[in-house]
Amino acid sequence: MRPTKSTTGRRWCTARYGTAALGVLALATASACSSGSNSSSSSSSASTSPSAAASPAPSSSGSITNFPRNETLYTSGTAYSPPSNWNPLATGAFATGTQGLIYEPLNLYNPISSTYMPWLATDTPSTGWHGSTYVIDVRSGVTWSDGQPMTAADVAYSINLAVQNAADPYSANVATVAKATASGNTVTVTFKGTPGYAEFTDYLWKAPVLPEHIWSKYSASQIATDANANPVGTGPMTLDTYNSQEVAYQTRSGWWATSALGLSFKFKYLVDIVNGSNDQELGQLTAGNIDWSNNFLPGINNLLGTLGGNSVYTLKTYYPKAPYMLSANTVWLEPNTSVAPMNNVNFRRALAYALSPQQIAQKVYGGITTPANPVGLLPTLVSAGYLNQSVVSQYAATYDPAKAKQLLAAAGYHGQTITLQVPDGWSDWMQATTVIQQELQAVGINVQLIYPQASARTANLTNGTYDLALDNNAGLDSTPWSYFQRVYQLPIQKAQTAQLNWERFSSPSDWQLVQQAGSTPASDTSTLHSIYSTLEKDFLQQQPEIPLWYNGAWFQGNTQYWSNFPSSSGSDQYMPVMWSGYIGAMTTVYALANLTPTPAAKS
């Protein structure tokens, strides 16, 4: 691990391609500018963090070493603040790559094929359940980056920590677990009664395995708050260096998946860059300064359509034509059902009949997103057979302004002003609100648009001080359970801080069905089908949310330096996303391992 003492780092060249406002992203900052950054605070926290003596501490400075371009993958589109935390339990705060590049889960989930994959465990949920007991076969031959072996004891420790300490963000996933016991390479998980099958299955592919020899030194209050600036994991990379604008990782030798699965990274370094503006990001992507972008780039569909045989670079997306992107989460029009007139089912159904998801998706995104189905389940869950099409045909609202007006009359709505809010600066959502406003006003709903700062908007939703909002909390998952949990979670708190039931809709019978689905084994497909069909029917009749479109799993790759990006054809159908909750849980690591250097162009 080398300290970074240079005061000049690699700087972006200005892009040559001209419609976007192409600002310059400086990778290096003067020491005076970075002295007050989060990097310095994370360094101070590192001095009190438990760490392994064998692991040299990563460096933090005002600039990053100029990495060899042909050995470095530059990524962006995931981080919006300076990297300063590598604690995998500090969800929402840890730097890109913490989970996935450093820490790893027991299984991976492939949403494209709807299958679980062995990872640090050699079994999957399809084989691990033995009645009401779960048995984990822990992979042998895995070492932590400090050289110590990863064992079944580490796995049991990680599960028991979540059981015993509510500060662990995965404690809800193990709420029904009694304890985990290690013996040899096996961990046996027992439950207090009926297992929470859905919640615990999510734990298996979302939660990191932690090194007991390090984490056990934390106090109970530190486990999810310490910055962990000298992280020790089982993953393919180690933390190299970081500053206020980027974080750099270095590939480590001895990663278990190389010998066990034949996976290896062809790049030596991965540098993730804190997001600039959308135009800036587009310019750096087309200039070849970013290889892998997970940013929403306005106009990318138009650019992709005009590239043709460009000899300088080629941009790749998951699909070669519209919609170009996989679907990542469902965008709802979210009514605050605790206040009038949103507490009236006829008014909410009028909203659904007044809006055209097809028009919104086309006008705002130009074909790079797809309209949502009326229930809002993502296409991966639909293809897995979870959507009851007969229920949709019978109960779903479809675009019908005349029907909307009838329902408004039945609701007793008389034109009072309704506010609709999205965060200021979310340009695509702001544009979407203007389309929504036009369609709602066409049926007589008086809508005022407001654009608070993102933090204020989140506070408004959690505290219930809003009328209508756009929300996309429902992301990719392996079953519909978490989707309906987000809709129907009870009880309703004064502050709904867990991104659950922000619409404040109270239906005890549906919440009971969600709980029943969670405690039903995946093998009981008939019971689950019946439960989810009922939830879908109730959703369509109650309309607690109005699904509009699917946000894309935004991905653009530039093949100037690296090739074989994930695509819908061939054998590389992996998740092309490095967002938190994707990398280190889904198949992004396979996508990264599949990249190869682009051959030099023949002169």
Per-residue pLDDT tens over the stretch 561-597: 999 999 998 778 999 999 999 999 999 999 999 999 9
What the block records as the tokens of 543 is: 């309309």
Q: Do 566 and 574 form a contact (C-beta atoms < 8 A)? A: yes
In 3D, which of 126, 115, 103, 277 has the Cα closest to residue 207? Answer: 103
Rounded to the nearest 10 degrees, how much is the dihedral formed by the CA atoms of 223, 229, 233, 238? 170
Per-residue pLDDT tens over the stretch 179-217: 999 999 999 999 999 999 999 999 999 999 999 999 999
pLDDT band for position 427 (cuts 50, 70, 90): confident
Question: How much is the mean pLDDT over the chain?
Answer: 88
Distance (Å, rounded) from C-alpha 240 to C-alpha 249?
5
Backbone phi, then psi, for 390, in 5-degree steps? Answer: -70, -35
Give the pLDDT mean for 49-53: 42
pLDDT of residue 111: 94
Distance (Å, rounded) from C-alpha 421 to C-alpha 545?
15
What the block records as the tokens of 432 is: 């979407």
Give the pLDDT mean for 332-346: 98
In 3D, which of 587, 567, 569, 568 has the Cα closest to residue 577? Answer: 587
pLDDT of residue 52: 42
Per-residue pLDDT tens over the stretch 457-499: 999 999 999 999 999 989 999 999 999 999 999 999 999 977 8
pLDDT of residue 119: 98
pLDDT band for position 603 (cuts 50, 70, 90): low
pLDDT at 362 over 80: yes
- What is the chain's alpha carbon radius of gyration, rounded to the nearest angstrom? 24
pLDDT band for position 233 (cuts 50, 70, 90): very high
Distance (Å, rounded) from C-alpha 92 to C-alpha 498?
12
pLDDT of residue 425: 86
pLDDT band for position 275 (cuts 50, 70, 90): confident
Of the candidate ranges 17-31, 67-81, 468-482, the one whose mean pLDDT is the lowest? 17-31
pLDDT at 429 over 90: yes
Distance (Å, rounded) from C-alpha 467 to C-alpha 449?
11
Distance (Å, rounded) from C-alpha 85 to C-alpha 103?
13
Distance (Å, rounded) from C-alpha 260 to C-alpha 138?
13
Give the pLDDT mean for 355-360: 96
Per-residue pLDDT tens over the stretch 552-568: 999 999 999 999 999 99
Residue 583 corresponds to which amino acid? Answer: I
pLDDT of residue 398: 96
pLDDT band for position 58 (cuts 50, 70, 90): low
pLDDT of residue 17: 29
What the block records as the tokens of 336 is: 């605050």
Question: Is the model more confident about 299 or about 376?
Answer: 376
Share of the chain above pLDDT 90, in %: 79
Backbone phi, then psi, for 100, in 5-degree steps? Answer: 115, -50
pLDDT at 63 over 50: yes
pLDDT at 10 over 50: no
Alpha carbons within 13 angstroms on the beta-carbon side of residue 320 total: 4
pLDDT band for position 80 (cuts 50, 70, 90): confident
Peptide bond just before 341 cis, omega within 30 deg? yes
Per-residue pLDDT tens over the stretch 540-553: 999 999 999 999 99
Helices 401-411 and 345-354 cross at an angle (nearest 10°) of 160
Q: Is the pTM here over 0.85, yes or no?
A: yes
Q: What is the largest CA-CA distance in the chain?
A: 73
pLDDT of residue 59: 60
Give the pLDDT mean for 75-93: 94
pLDDT of residue 299: 80
pLDDT of residue 497: 79
In 3D, which of 442, 443, 423 has the Cα closest to residue 433? Answer: 423
pLDDT of residue 566: 95
Per-residue pLDDT tens over the stretch 99-109: 999 999 999 99
List C-alpha distances in Å: 564 to 52, 267, 315, 598: 37, 13, 12, 9
Distance (Å, rounded) from C-alpha 221 to C-alpha 511?
32
pLDDT of residue 277: 73
Per-residue pLDDT tens over the stretch 369-391: 999 999 999 999 999 999 999 99
pLDDT band for position 307 (cuts 50, 70, 90): low
- In this structure, the strands spanning 133-137 and 186-191 are antiparallel
Distance (Å, rounded) from C-alpha 460 to C-alpha 146?
44
In 3D, which of 197, 198, 239, 232 has the Cα closest to residue 217? Answer: 232
Distance (Å, rounded) from C-alpha 566 to C-alpha 110?
13
